[in-house]
Chains A and B, each alone.
Chain A
Amino acid sequence: MAEPTTRALRTDTMVLSMGPQHPSTHGVLRLELKTDGEVVQDAIPHIGYLHRNFEKHAENLTYPQIIPYTDRMDYIAAMNNELGFVLAVEELLARGPRPVEVPEKAEYIRVIVCELNRIASHLLAFGAYGLDIGAFTPFLYAFRDRETILELFEELSGARLLYNYIRVGGVARDFPGGFHHKLRSFLGYFGPQIDVYNTLLSNNKIFLERTAGIGVLGVDECIQNGWTGPNIHGAGLAWDLRKEEPYSIYDRFDFAIPVGKNGDCWDRYMVRMDEMRESVKIATQALDQMEERGLLEDENFTAKVRGTLRPPAGEIYMRTETPRGDLGYYIHSDGSDRPSRVKVRSPCFTALSALRKMSRGLLIADVVAIIGSIDIVMGEIDR
């Protein structure tokens, strides 16, 4: 900023408030941008517009009643949220007199729905990212394919977005008749579609110019900031809880962890495209294994859980790999039917906190590109 003189024009830093209502802040996020023309000098995120007191509510609800609330945090990948919470409760119960034995079919169903939800979540990330960068068409293709997944979920659980499906001891309902045929046909159709999307957007020269080399965060900085999931895969580190600390039956499946090279926006985006392919692999393997073991005809989709759930007093921290990273549930139980404390560690929260450092010196258009590439959902950040 120049000193005001009688002759020279004085330049000022412009304070621009991007949001909370904005077409591309992925929810209600307010970004206070201090810019010098188009160059951003500071980008301060203000959150809390979607805070709904999940953790306080959880103290007054019984364990099964909390499950719909977990859906609503990261509403795009609801099944993964439910799974994390339910696994934490089952671990707590395992220490007590009546551990819950989840039937094998239920384990397979859980994996299938979580991976389908991963595909749906990454599709939305892909479509919304294209929209942020200015390509309108990929968004509609993504939603067309997402529609098929949502219809599958509706048939399975009754809801399209917020399912209340994964329960303590298993799942809420069994596969309806003929469901696995529809599932297989979707999985067969979707694999080649990813190549179509790569031709349309990922390898487009303008898209590359807008995202390659922008918002670089090296592996060390990612670890310092607590990044997990596709964000850190983009930086080059193949850390995935499904491989490192396998939960449920993930150790039975053969899949890779796609990684990027540079840790820029394009890498983080491309990692999500490749992760969709891996999810298709996992879901197909799960279906195949279910058929081999004759589980499709099996009718045990949940354990018999009698009476109110009263986990023994104690605490547990359970973490799972959601499409956004490492989601952690800390539950402290006092032996009653309601938890005394539930704390959620949100991967998007840590992702967003690095935004300020990353966006200094970049243009406003680049800030939009970075927010899209870290794939945040305000519902999870604010809880």
Chain B
Amino acid sequence: MTHPIEAFASRLRTTLAQTTETLELGGRWPEAIPLEGLIAIMLVVLAAVTVALIAAIPIVLVLMERKVSAYFQDRLGPTRVGPWGVLVTLADGIKLLFKEDLIPPQADKLLFRLAPYVVFGSSFAVVAVLPPFQSTVIGNLQLGLFIYLAVSSLVVLGIIMAGWSSNSKYSLFGALRGAAQIVSYEIPLGLSALMIVMTAGTLNMQHLVMDQVGGIHHWYMFRHPFLFVGAWIYFISAIAEVNRTPFDLPEAESEIVAGFHTEYSGLRFAYFFLAEYANVFVVSGICVALFMGGWSSPIPGFHAIPGIVWFVGKVFVLVFMMMWIRWTVPRVRVDQLMAVCWKYLLPISFVNIIGTGVVVLLEREQLGVEIAGMFIGVGALMWAVAPVMLLILGALAFSGTEPVARRSPAVGG
């Protein structure tokens, strides 16, 4: 078995050899390039175009964040940079470009330089598996969901690299908090996604969306209470994954200045900044694709609005909710954060998995129950049970958390 790199190298050599041979024999550009080479060039160009399009996402999201936060805070936000402030991301980017590129003394230079690219790259790479269109997906992989979970985990590596290499205690704090938080919350995230995989039987994102076509009642979120609760657990874990308040400990401004990216300035900081917003978009996009029907229309039979509009619309609803929560709610403490994940979200996720498994089994084996009847019955049950489950989840998540030390012994505690 040839090693894939060797195979690639040999194909490259053959292609180049063929090209030069054709040219020497009097052939002309670009017909000299064999088909393989042309396809390769086309894919590279397509990838570049895709990245450029993806880069538009943080531009919109930064403006959205500034305006949404402003209106929540009874002020206007950017109004002077372009009409209604639309050029503000461009202005921010240009400003950051002009800043001095500072590398702290005694910082680990290689890791310091590499960290933004790791975070940025892994956040942007997973945009490929999002299914925004009915017709095509940039990367329609059979293992789409799995690839998303795997690649988005690389962000932690970048955060730790940034925190460690900055040679600053505050950055280290932020990085360690970030690592603990992201790695912990990936478990409820993955388990909630697992429920979808159990229900659908596939990891292919496009097939998952196609399974939800036909109206809002077909969305996975509304099929049975376990999936409904699972959708919200996914959403909460997603907020923790992208380090947004109430889970923004790695960059908790009032405690550790700016956490793991304290020492970054200029374009390096811009990478972290853009990566955060891309991450917000991606994680909302996956949530929409998994639980809320992706590009399908919620009204059955209504096809006037194209799928991409539905997809982007739903994603922006979720992004708005993330921003709404960020600007309303304070920050949890690190031990409370871990308690919420391990003591509350995780057991409930396990219950959800068991429940989903039971439902899937019942559906498949048709154990004497009409599927339609079960949908009706389960639907009614869902509207009764789900609010109660959510209330219990909320109450449990925040009632039993104990801080490390409430009272110090010196004051009689």
Residues of chain A touching chain B, judged by Cβ–Cβ distance below 8 Å, are 14, 16, 22-24, 38-39, 130-137, 140-141, 144, 200-201, 204-207, 209-210, 213-214, 216-218, 221, 357-366, 368
Complex: A266 Cα to B308 Cα, angstroms: 48
Q: Are B411 and A204 in contact (CB under 8 A)?
A: no
- When distances are taken between beta carbons in the complex, the residues of chain A under 8 Å from B326 are 136
Given contacts A39-B405, A210-B333, A214-B403, contact A137 B73 (CB under 8 A): yes
Q: Are A360 and B74 in contact (CB under 8 A)?
A: no
Q: Are A14 and B169 in contact (CB under 8 A)?
A: yes
Closest A residue by C-beta to B412: A218
Contact size range, B: 35 or more
Closest B residue by C-beta to A24: B254
Q: Are B331 and A206 in contact (CB under 8 A)?
A: yes
- When distances are taken between beta carbons in the complex, the residues of chain A under 8 Å from B368 are none
Q: Are B73 and A134 in contact (CB under 8 A)?
A: no
Q: Are B257 and A23 in contact (CB under 8 A)?
A: yes
Q: Are A135 and B329 in contact (CB under 8 A)?
A: yes
B330 at the A interface (CB under 8 A): yes
B245 at the A interface (CB under 8 A): yes
Residue from the set A136, A216, A363, A368 with the largest chain B CB neighbour count within 10 Å: A136
Least CB distance from A45 to B in Å reads: 16
Q: Are B169 and A217 in contact (CB under 8 A)?
A: no
Complex: A131 Cα to B407 Cα, angstroms: 24
- When distances are taken between beta carbons in the complex, the residues of chain A under 8 Å from B409 are 360-361
Residues of chain B touching chain A, judged by Cβ–Cβ distance below 8 Å, are 69, 72-75, 169-170, 173, 245-246, 248, 252-257, 326-336, 398, 401, 403-413
Given contacts A137-B73, A206-B398, contact A200 B246 (CB under 8 A): no
Point out the residue from B254, B403, B404 that lies within 8 Å of A131, measured CB to CB.
B254
Point out the residue from A22, A23, A134, A216 that lies within 8 Å of B413, measured CB to CB.
A216
- When distances are taken between beta carbons in the complex, the residues of chain B under 8 Å from A217 are 411
Q: Are B327 and A136 in contact (CB under 8 A)?
A: yes
- When distances are taken between beta carbons in the complex, the residues of chain B under 8 Å from A133 are 254, 330-331
Q: Are A209 and B411 in contact (CB under 8 A)?
A: no
A-B contact pairs, 6 of them (CB 8 A): A134-B330, A214-B403, A359-B408, A360-B410, A363-B403, A368-B254
Q: Are B335 and A361 in contact (CB under 8 A)?
A: no
Given contacts A23-B254, A209-B401, contact A140 B74 (CB under 8 A): yes
Complex: A141 Cα to B72 Cα, angstroms: 10
- When distances are taken between beta carbons in the complex, the residues of chain B under 8 Å from A137 are 72-73, 327-328
Residue from the set A209, A210, A217 with the largest chain B CB neighbour count within 10 Å: A209
Least CB distance from B163 to A in Å reads: 14
Complex: A363 Cα to B398 Cα, angstroms: 18
Least CB distance from A360 to B in Å reads: 4
Least CB distance from B322 to A in Å reads: 14
Q: Are B411 and A216 in contact (CB under 8 A)?
A: yes
Q: Are A134 and B328 in contact (CB under 8 A)?
A: no
Q: Are B412 and A207 in contact (CB under 8 A)?
A: no
Q: Are A209 and B336 in contact (CB under 8 A)?
A: yes
Q: Are B406 and A216 in contact (CB under 8 A)?
A: yes
Closest 7 CB pairs of A and B: A134-B331, A135-B330, A140-B73, A361-B405, A24-B254, A134-B330, A133-B330
Given contacts A133-B331, A358-B411, contact A213 B406 (CB under 8 A): yes
Q: Are A368 and B404 in contact (CB under 8 A)?
A: no
Complex: A350 Cα to B326 Cα, angstroms: 36
Complex: A7 Cα to B411 Cα, angstroms: 38
Point out the residue from B73, B254, B404 that lies within 8 Å of A363, measured CB to CB.
B404
- When distances are taken between beta carbons in the complex, the residues of chain B under 8 Å from A359 are 408
- When distances are taken between beta carbons in the complex, the residues of chain B under 8 Å from A39 are 404-405
Q: Are A16 and B332 in contact (CB under 8 A)?
A: no
Least CB distance from B343 to A in Å reads: 14
Closest A residue by C-beta to B413: A216
